[in-house]
Structure 1
């Protein structure tokens, strides 16, 4: 009779080996070409949203810093969208021509605001949107084998990180101005 304590580690190793060698459910569900297509579509939707929200911010923002940032979003995401359009054409893909529900919601909620409330909400939305875009581009580098698509992601990552950093800086400036405007001490003492 074999000792079960001796076989246990061997059986555990054998049981674990197929799980390591087997592709994940995500990899099985998304063939390589589909991952590139999904990334292109997601990047196009994000870029379109950035350009549309930037145009709104140019019209509604109170802060010069926010207006300047919004102009940069319109210009740089517009250029990125042109590059994506070229990639999509070569791959026989049609890019979305309307905002997704998340972007429409962001646009609708910002349209109802004005002044510093608009500025703050727009900048906060930009931080979140750029964090999502950065994650999407970083993940594409490990999931996608199409050289022109990964080259696009490589090219965009530094821009997206800078956009996030600029939005964070504007938000920090809002916070420091608000702190400076708050009264110190207790009145009447």
Structure 2
């Protein structure tokens, strides 16, 4: 486990350092977003899908990130398909977040639901906000594909957890919507 996590962190650090040497803000943001992918997947696979104490904050932050990213897309994108997907993502992740809170409080009262994004996800939001108008749609859709792949890994992995059956049921319930978001994002990614 430590080896996998260290490898993902090393890859992320290397990409971030490489990005710092580039001049274009969109290129730096893209490299930072790409560096985020292995860290998120590793976290979802290794910790989040196995421990209630990791699943709850990761699922909550995933929903929080998706809601904020959708708001930014609704504000900045002129693409009707992106706006439609962003609206669906916002509605579904808002509902998922509301549904999870009482389940988490009951199953894991000692696990705090975060009130703000972690540094990695805040970096993704910052990159969305700073993306040029020309690069925004591509940046948003690339982030959505990666974030929904990570979310699927997290929720599918936790769906058979026997320590918190109500949370495992929640993971099973949200998975089809996350799959639909991912399929929509992948279609748009191919079209851009």
TM beyond 0.5: yes
Alpha-carbon shift at residue 86 of structure 1 (Å): 1.2
Give the match for residue 59 of structure 1: 75
Alpha-carbon shift at residue 70 of structure 1 (Å): 1.0
Give the match for residue 50 of structure 1: 66
2:170 equivalent to 1:152 = yes
Give the match for residue 101 of structure 1: 119
2:95 equivalent to 1:82 = no
- Which blocks of at least 5 consecutive residues in structure 2 are unaligned? 1-46
What is the Cα-based RMSD across aligned positions, in Å? 2.0
Give the match for residue 111 of structure 1: 129
Alpha-carbon shift at residue 73 of structure 1 (Å): 1.3
Matches of 2:103 and 2:54 in 1, distance apart?
13
Range that drifts further, 97-106 or 83-92: 83-92
Q: What do residues 92-127 of structure 1 show as CA deviations (whole Å, max 9, x unaligned)?
A: 243100011111111111111243410111001000
Question: How does the TM-score come out when normalised to structure 2?
Answer: 0.70
Give the match for residue 56 of structure 2: 40
Q: Report the 3-state secondary structure (helix = DSSP H, G, I; strand = E; otherwise coil) of the residue aligned with 1:157.
A: helix
Q: What do residues 32-55 of structure 1 show as CA deviations (whole Å, max 9, x unaligned)?
A: xx8123111110010100001111
2:141 equivalent to 1:123 = yes
Q: Report the 3-state secondary structure (helix = DSSP H, G, I; strand = E; otherwise coil) of the residue aligned with 2:139.
A: helix
Q: What do residues 54-105 of structure 1 show as CA deviations (whole Å, max 9, x unaligned)?
A: 1111101121111111111111101100011111222324310001111111
